[in-house]
Amino acid sequence: MLATSATQSTRVQLMPANVVLTGPRVPTVSAMSTTTDRLARFETAQEMIGLLIAARARALSDERGKSSPNGSAIAALLVEIDRFDDERDALRLDGFAEIERVIREYGPTVKAAHAR
């Protein structure tokens, strides 16, 4: 958990001693000691994949709604949806490396899509 303390006009982010920062302030799950921390990262990974599935489902709906839908585009979107669904189903709370891979790999895409 991140704790925030405010002193005068300066905000300081405090991290537990057991959390290792890698890259731009991303704690690694394997360094986290509490179930709550691991669960938060696990749920974040699940949610990211869910958002990617939703984006593909929206694109699929748009394609199917066209007067001349592109069959190969529809097939490709269905394959992607199935792959993401399988990937989400395969996530495990103790799969630290896979959880971090999902967050690292898909995080920028999800963040960019929702920044618009």
How many structural domains are present in the chain?
A: 1
> Distance between CA 1 and CA 16 in Å, rounded?
7
In a domain, 25, yes or no: no
In a domain, 59, yes or no: yes
In a domain, 42, yes or no: yes
User: What is the structure's pLDDT at 26?
Assistant: 56
The string of pLDDT tens digits covering residues 46-59 is 999 999 999 999 99
User: What is the structure's pLDDT at 113?
Assistant: 86
The string of pLDDT tens digits covering residues 69-99 is 999 999 999 999 999 999 999 999 999 999 9
pTM over 0.85: no
In a domain, 106, yes or no: yes
User: What is the structure's pLDDT at 115?
Assistant: 83
User: Above pLDDT 70, what percent of the chain?
Assistant: 72
- Are the beta carbons of 91 and 45 closer than 8 angstroms? yes
Backbone φ/ψ region at 38: left (φ over 0), alpha (ψ -120 to 50), beta:
alpha
Residue 101 predicted with pLDDT over 70: yes
> Distance between CA 50 and CA 100 in Å, rounded?
16
Structural domain span for residue 43: 33-115
